[in-house]
Structures are given as structure tokens and as C-alpha cells.
Amino acid sequence: MSGRVSRKMERLDNGRRGLVRRWKDIWMVLSGSRLYFFRSNDGAQSEAQQQHLVNSAGGPDTGSQQSLASGGSGRPAMSIQTIVPLREGVAIVDAAYKKYPHVFRILAGDGSQVLIKAPNDDAVAEWMARINCAAAFKTMEIERRTADASSAATSQQTEAQRSEQRAQLLETKLATLDEDLNAIDDRLERSLRLFKQLVAMVPLTRQGRTRTVQYASAARERLKELYMSEQRLTCYKDVLELDLAIEYELGGHIAFGAQE
């Protein structure tokens, strides 16, 4: 998937606020488990050129810059400005952001955060669905279902076995997600209780008030981190549950065909 959007780098991969935090028009490409940010005018280049550049940007999921020479076309070289890894990442709607419409936030696994402004609500929904699907499968280490899974070259019995194995893997991953979500819920409850206690405290000394404010600020940040982790895992769970339902349906059809 690719398209023209605007982006704003909120945090870098070290978790610090970006030095240049302004909106910038870009051409965004989702390929595999990475997002690639091109210059906005690179959207006029052919998809073949974009894909060639994406394929050449191999290696670890870290930000880098690659370029593709223009050759004799007279066009400027294409360049990847940023690569955003989606492992341990998620795209969410930031309810606290009110300045512009059609904006969602990408929390990358490397600690960076990017605000993306899409043309309309439909584009927001499609980008978020595709990004979260890619992030869920990459993070949970599940291969995506191939389009030719039921090809004539594969026997129905073999395909039924493959479908059953994949369904079992999805069930195992979902059980793990449930355990992780329960643990996060417990930590959220404890952190929220601590934060409320700190807010309610009225220290008598200036030093005590300063420390209380510092502790409350740290507790607030911890609550934000836990809440984002909960959103991320809940998103993964939704993706895997939907995929499991599809696997059950496909498996039923395959098993029925094998019996015939």
C-alpha cells in the first residue's frame, strides 16, 4: 500500500522528542513489516522504482537513507528518508490530539512515534488496518496466509493439515496475549492507585511537595506506557482472532472437500 500523507516526527528512536517537529508532506509505502517514507514528489515515480528501492534497503529495521539514481530520465533521484519498523509497533487513534482531523499515531518498536495525517477517514481506517495487521503478524511471528494456499498443486488433505497447524499456532499465540493482557491490567490498576494517592497527598514542606510532583509525573508516564502497551496487545489480539476465524472457515471448507 502506498499514498501521499503528511507526517510529524513526535519522538525519535531513542524516545526523545524530535528536533524538527513540523508537518511534512511525504509519500508513504507499506512493504512487509516496514513503513518507508519518501519525499512527497517521489510519488510520481513508478511503483517498480519504489519497490526496487525498498528491496535494496535490506538489513535491520532501523532508519536509514537510500537513493535510486534517476538515470537518463532527468528526474531527481528517489530517496528513502526514513524507515519505520513495525515489529512491536501499533497504529492508534490519539484521542488527545485535536488540532487536525484524520490523524493517527504510529508507535514503533524502536521507541519512535510518528503522527500521520491522511486525506480522509477512509484512508485513516485502511492505513491503520494494514499497519496493525503487518505489526501483529511480525511481532507474533506468524506467517501470513498466502493467496494461493488452496492451489491445485497442493492436495486438499495436505492443505487441511496446514490449516489445522496454523489454527493451533494462532490459538497458542492468543492464549499468550491473554496472559500478557491480564498482567498489564494488574499493573495498570496498581499504577493508577499509586498515582491517585500521590495526587491526593499534601506535603507540608517544599522539598516534600517537589518530590511528590516528581513521583506523580513518573507515575503518569508509567500509566501512559502501560496503556499504550495494552492498546498494542489488544490490537494484536483482534487481528489474530479475525485471522483464526478465517482459518476455521477455510479449514472447514477444505475438510469438507477432502471428505468428498
Q: How far is CA 200 from CA 54, 209, 221, 226, 235, in A?
A: 53, 11, 18, 22, 34
- Residue 14's pLDDT is 60
Nearest residue to 50 via CA among 60, 39, 62, 64: 39
pLDDT score at 75: 47
- Both 253 and 186 in one domain: the answer is yes
- For residue 248, the model assigns a pLDDT of 86
For the chain, the domain total comes to 2
Q: Are residues 128 and 180 in the same domain?
A: no
What does the pLDDT read at residue 237? 97
Same-domain status, 128 and 166:
no
Please indicate, yes or no, if residue 117 is contained in any of the structural domains: yes
Question: Which domain CATH number covers 243?
Answer: 1.10.287
- Domain assignment present for residue 151? The answer is no
Establish if 170 belongs to a structural domain: yes
Contact 113, 11 (CB under 8 A): yes
Same domain for 12 and 133, yes or no, is yes
Q: Residues 116, 207: one domain?
A: no
Asked if residue 162 and residue 37 are part of one domain, the reply reads no
- Answer yes or no: is 145 within a domain: no
53: domain CATH number is 2.30.29.30
Per residue of the chain (260 residues), what is the pLDDT tens digit? Answer: 888 999 998 887 666 676 667 899 989 999 888 999 888 665 555 555 555 556 555 544 544 444 443 444 444 456 778 889 999 999 999 888 889 999 999 999 888 899 999 999 999 999 999 999 999 999 999 988 765 544 444 566 677 778 888 899 999 999 999 999 999 999 999 999 988 888 888 888 888 888 888 888 889 889 988 998 999 999 999 999 999 998 888 766 444 444 44
Q: Is there a single domain that holds both residue 200 and residue 254?
A: yes
Boundary of a domain, candidates 113, 139, 165: 139
72 and 134 inside one domain: yes
The reply to whether 166 and 207 lie within a common domain is yes
Three-state secondary structure readout of the chain? CEEEEEEEEEECCCCCECCCCCCEEEEEEEECCEEEEEEHHHHHCCHHHHHHHHHHCCCCCCCCCEEECCCCCCCCCEEEEEEEECCCCEEECCCCCCCCCCEEEEECCCCCEEEEECCCHHHHHHHHHHHHHHHHHHHCCCCCCCCCCCCCCCCHHHHHHHHHHHHHHHHHHHHHHHHHHHHHHHHHHHHHHHHHHHHHCCCCCHHHHHHHHHHHHHHHHHHHHHHHHHHHHHHHHHHHHHHHHHHHHHHHHHHHHHHC
Cell output for 132: 496493525
Domain match, 129 and 192 both:
no
Per-residue confidence (pLDDT) for residue 206, from 0 to 100: 85
User: Which residues form the domain of 179?
Assistant: 156-259
For residue 82, which amino acid is it? T
Does some domain include residue 146? Answer: no
